[in-house]
Amino acid sequence: MTAEDTVTPPTLFEPIEINGVRLRNRLILPPMCQYSCEARDGVPHGWQFQHLAARAAGGFGMVVAEATAVTPEGRISPWDTGLWNDEQAQAWAPICDEIAELGAVPAIQLGHAGAKASTVPMHPGVPAGQPILEGPDSWETLSPSGVPTNSMEIRTHAMQVDEIRETVQAFADAAERADRAGFGAVQLHAAHGYLIHQFLSPLTNTRTDEYGGDYEGRTRFLKEIVAAVREVWPADKILGIRISGSDWREDGWSIEETVRLAQELQGQVHWFDLSSAGIGDTYEGPKGPGYQVPLATAVKEGTEGIVVSAVGSLTGAQEVADVVTAGRADAVCVGRAALANPNWPTAAALELDVPEEQVPMARQYFRAKW
Ligand SMILES: Cc1cc2nc3c(=O)[nH]c(=O)nc-3n(C[C@H](O)[C@H](O)[C@H](O)COP(=O)(O)O)c2cc1C
């Protein structure tokens, strides 16, 4: 028996350090668009404050704010949050303070929707992802090759190299504002068919210049963003990437390419969050509880020193805890189940009967323990 065999695996409610930043447990609230900027100005208000603060009070180790656009044309819908100006940065600041005050690390997902921008928000009764084709809320979107991500009619054009450079810079500028606002982690949105994913995937990137073609070309945009963000983002804060680990298509972006990318970014990026898909009309991948966990495990096993989180249809306390104790991922995101119950982590800790000091309950709520 080697020393390695005797190491006790961590448990879900044990703290974890990512680049020296301590999370009180391994539960992450994933980014979830709220489409709630009433004034269409990208400025977060009371809704975002209560949504994120409630889940920090509920016990998450890290709370990730929704996909936040780095430019106005990068918004999925006109009601998205943004970080392309200082007014937005100032409005995020009290939200960060509150999340931190409640014991969680405040994080934000920075994104650009590319060809999937200018769509109606995902609200009850509204067809998801429907492009807005006319009127003041409609704009021509940017994309690597003018190729749509699905069969819906859109207005998009292939980015010129100067537009690529401006967008890379916009990610860095937004990261700088995120730092000033008080976020402890930035997550780059390279998943779900949005702009960075559109560059990674051969399904949507048919460029013949240095930003397309082989693996090197298709990953160049993301690598340039990482390098630009690293210039401004403090070395002692967390830099992460949420990636679609697979397009689940023979001719698409693959888990092998994802693992290679994670290996190449080791040392620059501290955290990989493994989601999947987003390009195409239909979802072609596996389904069911924890369907994306194998993607996280592949990146965890293929890299060293990167914290890897799993996400997707993980809802039960024991099921989530098992992902960590089995070493399949270092942390787990719980999304929709935490929309239904903001106190999901606290409830799970009580259900799993973890040691008293690991129950992440807000002290004001201590009477809930019976
Ligand atoms: C309302 C809603 C909004 C979402 N918005 C985002 C987003 O802004 N960025 C993102 O990467 N994923 C987004 N997602 C995906 C979630 O982060 C998560 O990956 C997904 O819901 C699967 O996890 P779950 O089964 O625990 O909910 C969203 C999901 C929902 C339900």
CB neighbour list of residue 277: distance below 8 Å, 6 or more residues apart: 192, 193, 244, 246, 247, 248, 283, 284, 285
Of all protein residues, the one whose alpha carbon is nearest to atom 22 of ligand 1 is 312
Residue type, 234: P
Active-site residue set:
194
Find tokens 């298709």 and name the residue.
Answer: 218
Report, as an integer, the average pLDDT of 269-274.
Answer: 98
Q: Residue 367 Cα, ligand 1 centroid: separation in angstroms?
A: 31
Outline where DSSP puts E strands in the chain.
16-18, 21-23, 27-29, 62-69, 105-111, 141-143, 156-158, 185-190, 238-244, 271-275, 307-311, 331-333
Task: Give the pLDDT confidence of 7-64 residue by residue, as tens digits.
Answer: 777 999 999 999 999 999 999 999 999 999 989 999 999 999 999 999 999 999 999 9
Q: Residue 370 Cα, ligand 1 centroid: separation in angstroms?
A: 32
Q: Round to whole Å and give the CA distance between 97 and 76.
A: 26
Virtual CA dihedral for 141, 143, 148, 149, nearest 10 degrees? -110
Taking residue 106's Cβ as centre, other Cβ atoms within 10 Å add up to: 27
Q: Residue 304 Cα, ligand 1 centroid: separation in angstroms?
A: 27
Q: Round to whole Å and give the CA distance between 188 and 363.
A: 33
Task: Give the pLDDT confidence of 206-255 residue by residue, as tens digits.
Answer: 999 999 999 999 999 999 999 999 999 999 999 999 999 999 999 999 99
Q: Relative to the CA of 336, which ligand 1 atom is closest?
A: 27
Task: Give the pLDDT confidence of 105-147 residue by residue, as tens digits.
Answer: 999 999 999 999 999 988 888 877 899 999 999 999 999 999 9
Q: Residue 33 Cα, ligand 1 centroid: separation in angstroms?
A: 7
Q: Are strands 271-275 and 141-143 parallel, antiparallel or unpaired?
A: unpaired
Q: Residue 141 Cα, ligand 1 centroid: separation in angstroms?
A: 22
Of all protein residues, the one whose alpha carbon is nearest to atom 30 of ligand 1 is 32
- pLDDT attached to residue 119: 96
- pLDDT attached to residue 2: 54
CB neighbour list of residue 39: distance below 8 Å, 6 or more residues apart: none
- pLDDT attached to residue 174: 99
Q: What residues does each domain of the chain span?
A: 3-361
Report, as an integer, the average pLDDT of 269-279.
Answer: 98
Find tokens 């990437």 and name the residue.
Answer: 241
Q: Relative to the CA of 313, which ligand 1 atom is closest?
A: 25
Q: Round to whole Å and give the CA distance between 332 and 208.
A: 38
197 Cβ inside 6 Å of ligand 1: no
Q: Which of 287, 336, 339, 341 to mutate for ligand 1's pocket (most ligand atoms within 8 Å of CB)?
A: 336
Q: Relative to the CA of 122, which ligand 1 atom is closest?
A: 1
Given a contact cutoff of 8 angstroms between Cβ atoms, the answer to whether 77 and 120 are in contact is yes
Of all protein residues, the one whose alpha carbon is nearest to atom 5 of ligand 1 is 32
> Residue 366's pLDDT band (boundaries 50, 70, 90)?
confident
Percent residues over pLDDT 70 in the chain? 98
Q: Which CATH number among 3.40.50.300, 3.20.20.70, 3.40.190.10, 3.90.1010.10 corresponds to the domain 3-361?
A: 3.20.20.70
Given a contact cutoff of 8 angstroms between Cβ atoms, the answer to whether 125 and 112 are in contact is no
| Mean of all residue pLDDT scores within the chain | 96
Q: What string of DSSP letters covers 163-193?
A: HHHHHHHHHHHHHHHHHHHT-SEEEEEE-TT
